[in-house]
Amino acid sequence: MSIGAFLLRRLGSGALAILGASILTFAFLHLVPGDPVDHLAGGDAPPGARKKIEQCMGLDRPLPVQFARFLGHVVDGTLGNQCRNGDPSGPTVANRIAEVMPHTLALAVCGMLVAIALALPLGVVAAIRRGTWIDTLATTVSLSGISIPQMMFAPLLILWGFITLGWFPGPTEIGPQAIVLPALAIGTHLMAMLARMTRSAMVEVLGEDYVRTARAKGLAEGRVVFLHALRNAILPVITIAGLQFGSLLSGAIIIENVFSRPGIGSTLVDAIKERNYPVVQGAVLVIAAIYVVVNLLVDLSYGLSDPRIRRA
Amino acid sequence: MRLSLSAWLGLVMLTVYVLAGALGPIIAPYDLGLSSVDLQHQFEGSSPAHWLGTDASGRDTLSQLLWGARSALELSVIVVAISSAIGLAIGTLAGWYGGAIDEVVMRVVDVLMAFPGILLNIAIVATVAHPGVPLTVAALCANGWVGYARVARGQVLALRERDYVAAAVALGASNRRVMMRHLIPNLMAPAMVQMSFGLGSVILIEASLSFLGIGPQLDYTWGAMLDQARNFLWNSEWVKVYAVVPGLAITWVVLGANLLGDGLRDRLDPRQRGRM
């Protein structure tokens, strides 16, 4: 299969998945009890104000028309209107998402850097000292990273970094220093997965003939490990890291909540709680699109860097 | 079955959890009803009366922990049972019949995997003001079955090429019989691995939901304890204990489930040893 056909096929199934996710969200929002107008206007709002919000959201139209309207807003790039006061010319959902998205992306990127910085040494050490207590220790540390709930770890980080040491700004701050603690919280979780991946990839590579050759010609162990082994072991690790980028977004839902940070995760949770249909739909669409695109990019980069996969 | 040391450790950890969940409410030193509210003894330290101290309303922490084990155990066993039954059935059907059924199932799987799973869970429990246990179970099963379906489908695709399956078909066995007698028993082992991981992840998700204030409105869950604790985190030395205890309980269960799952997988496929 040529790369073009592959790309086309994957884009097609990705678009289908995003559409499906949108339909699913739409169905959930509309088939269940709970009136968005109550939340946005307040329970005892005058009928006129309620009517305005209803019209702004298009809730007075049949469901298929509402969904078509949503698709229309996807095409024109506004993702619909937030309808805060029933004002159809107010800020759009796209505005709101564009406003918070940089915070989430910064958090995800910093979290990924933390994860890689912790995972590579842990995994490499575990692989070199395989079967010793160092290996067991490194494995236990990385397993705990997955097992410790972020709901405990993140508040403790705040306690330690903000209250006890006073080195870092507390919750609700968004400066460059304020990203340290949330990035640590989100990164340790991912670190676990990457460290174990690094370890198994290194173990495999260290058993290869070319590593034996490198050792046989008398290269220093450091050169063998870092230049010969790690360079080859790092590819699958990067792949997993890329695939996990999406999971950083779901991690952001909890972390942004604990740290009261603006972001797509906290926006979405707020919107779900207040039943703001257009915002929920828009945020889910954006997250699903990021998921699909990241997975596609990872697959592509994998295929490009390894010709054996490209042909298959 | 020969298992590695860490898998045994995981099994022991899970056994302790199951015992705590089964016996917890019986051995818990205090009731947790309204009568147990004791505003004279808020955030107390460890004492003979309250081993792990008390919470914001003076209730015994240890008792909450044990009741929390009961709710976590109930929820995780029910969710794993339902979602594995649904997932294995769907995955087996898709793998065996292939064609249109397979295509539809895989597209649905694609959709469910196109956004973070916890979003769907949140969306479902947020549909009512006070989600009960049944709705939380439904929310967790709504995408919980996907992992099992993928495992089952993959296994069936491999198994259907086996000679004994061909032999069964040649002897005139019905589709139903092939699936029930030849396919499902042979995919139970990998399904067990998935169940073990599932046990841990159900607890984490439930705790996340409770933490966001939209969990099952049970009297006590570990997630609800964490949520309560963080509001008082800066108040007193003993709040920190209250905040850490349920977190450690969750860590204990998830770690146990992961150790056991890893061990079972190593046992099934030695090539994967040490991988995620």
Better-predicted residue by pLDDT, A26 or B78:
B78
Of B208, B229, B250, which is closest to A254 when you measure between CB atoms? B208
Inter-chain touch A246–B124, beta carbons under 8 Å? no
At B268, which helix (H) or strand (E)?
A: helix B237-268
| Nearest chain A Cα distance for residue B85, angstroms | 23
Confidence of residue A289 (pLDDT cuts 50, 70, 90): confident
The single-letter DSSP state of residue B52 is T
Q: What is the three-class DSSP state of B274?
A: coil
Query: Which string of b and e fits A221-233 if b means at least 16 CB within 10 Å?
Result: eeebbeebbbebb
The single-letter DSSP state of residue A108 is H
For B184-226, write each residue's pLDDT tens digit: 888 888 888 889 888 888 988 888 888 887 777 666 788 888 8
Quick one: three-class SS letters along A4-56? Answer: HHHHHHHHHHHHHHHHHHHHHHHHHHHHCCCCHHHHHHCCCCCHHHHHHHHHH
Residue B232 has pLDDT above 90, yes or no: no
Of B119, B127, B200, which is closest to A32 when you measure between CB atoms? B127
Confidence of residue B239 (pLDDT cuts 50, 70, 90): low
Q: For residue B140, with 0-12 CB atoms within 10 Å meaning exposed, 13-18 middle and 19 or more buried, which class applies?
A: buried
Note whether B208 contacts A: Cβ–Cβ < 8 A: yes
Inter-chain touch A250–B117, beta carbons under 8 Å? yes
Instruction: Please give the model's pTM, rounded to 2 decimal places.
Output: 0.81
Q: What percent of chain A has pLDDT over 90?
A: 1
Mutate to test the interface with A, among B119, B146, B233 (most CBs of A within 10 A): B119
For A143-195, write each residue's pLDDT tens digit: 888 888 888 888 888 878 777 777 777 776 777 777 888 888 888 888 888 88
Note whether B5 contacts A: Cβ–Cβ < 8 A: no
Chain B CB contacts of A196 under 8 Å are 274-276
What pLDDT does A300 receive? 74
For A111-136, write each residue's pLDDT tens digit: 999 999 998 888 888 888 877 888 87
Inter-chain touch B115–A284, beta carbons under 8 Å? yes
Residue A283 has pLDDT above 70, yes or no: yes
At B199, which helix (H) or strand (E)?
A: helix B184-211
Do the Cβ atoms of B89 and B151 come closer than 8 Å? no
| Nearest chain B Cα distance for residue A148, angstroms | 5
The single-letter DSSP state of residue A160 is I
Beta carbon pairs, A and B, within 8 Å: 140
Cα–Cα distance, B57 to A198 (Å, whole number): 47
Inter-chain touch A143–B118, beta carbons under 8 Å? no
Cα–Cα distance, B173 to A231 (Å, whole number): 52
Inter-chain touch B211–A254, beta carbons under 8 Å? yes
Q: What is the three-class DSSP state of B58?
A: coil
CA distances from residue B185 to A306, B80, B81, B262 in whole angstroms, order as listed: 38, 18, 16, 21
Distant-in-sequence, close-in-space partners of B108: CB < 8 Å, separation ≥ 6: A20
Q: What is the mean pLDDT of chain B?
A: 82
Cα–Cα distance, B132 to A143 (Å, whole number): 32
Inter-chain touch A146–B212, beta carbons under 8 Å? no
Inter-chain touch B114–A291, beta carbons under 8 Å? yes
Among A280, A242, A243, A244, which Cα is nearest to A264's? A280
CA distances from residue A84 to A96, B68, B156 in whole angstroms, order as listed: 12, 40, 51
What pLDDT does B269 receive? 65
The least confident of A261-275, B119-133, B142-156, B165-179 is B119-133
Cα–Cα distance, B178 to B171 (Å, whole number): 11
Structure-block tokens of residue B262:
């890893």
Chain A CB contacts of B223 under 8 Å are 151
CA distances from residue A146 to A142, A153, A258, B192 in whole angstroms, order as listed: 7, 11, 18, 20
Chain B CB contacts of A284 under 8 Å are 115, 119
Better-predicted residue by pLDDT, B263 or B11:
B11
Q: For residue A153, with 0-12 CB atoms within 10 Å meaning exposed, 13-18 middle and 19 or more buried, which class applies?
A: buried
Gyration radius (Cα) of chain B, Å: 22
Of A147, A200, A249, which is closest to B258 when you measure between CB atoms? A147
Of A144, A156, A268, which is closest to B255 when you measure between CB atoms? A144
Chain B CB contacts of A163 under 8 Å are 234
ipTM of this complex prediction, to 2 decimal places: 0.75
Q: What is the mean pLDDT of chain A?
A: 80
For B88-132, write each residue's pLDDT tens digit: 999 999 999 988 999 899 888 888 877 778 878 887 887 776 778
| Nearest chain A Cα distance for residue B50, angstroms | 22
Query: Which string of b and e fits B56-76 if b means at least 16 CB within 10 Å?
Result: bebbbbbbbbbbbbbbbbebb
Mutate to test the interface with A, among B14, B17, B115 (most CBs of A within 10 A): B115
Which amino acid is it at A88? P
| Nearest chain A Cα distance for residue B178, angstroms | 32
Which amino acid is it at A47? P
Among A271, A287, A187, which Cα is nearest to B122's? A271
Q: Token match 């697959």: residue?
A: A299
Inter-chain touch B114–A20, beta carbons under 8 Å? yes
Structure-block tokens of residue A205:
């590579």
Structure-block tokens of residue B80:
């794993």
| Angle (CA) A34 A37 A42, round 5° | 105
Note whether B120 contacts A: Cβ–Cβ < 8 A: yes
Note whether B114 contacts A: Cβ–Cβ < 8 A: yes
CA distances from residue A160 to A26, A153, A229 in whole angstroms, order as listed: 42, 10, 38
Note whether B229 contacts A: Cβ–Cβ < 8 A: yes
Chain B CB contacts of A43 under 8 Å are none
Of B124, B230, B243, which is closest to A28 when you measure between CB atoms? B124
Do the Cβ atoms of A279 and A267 come closer than 8 Å? yes
Taking the alpha carbons of A125, A126, A127, A130 in that order, is the dihedral positive or negative? Answer: positive
Chain A CB contacts of B204 under 8 Å are 149
Mutate to test the interface with B, among A135, A140, A152 (most CBs of B within 10 A): A152
Helical spans, DSSP H, in A32-160? 36-41, 47-57, 63-76, 93-128, 133-147, 150-158
Nearest CA in chain B to A144: B255
Inter-chain touch B255–A143, beta carbons under 8 Å? yes
Quick one: three-class SS letters along A210-258? Answer: HHHHHHHCCCCHHHHHHHHHHHHHHHHHHHHHHHCHHHHHHHHHHHHHH
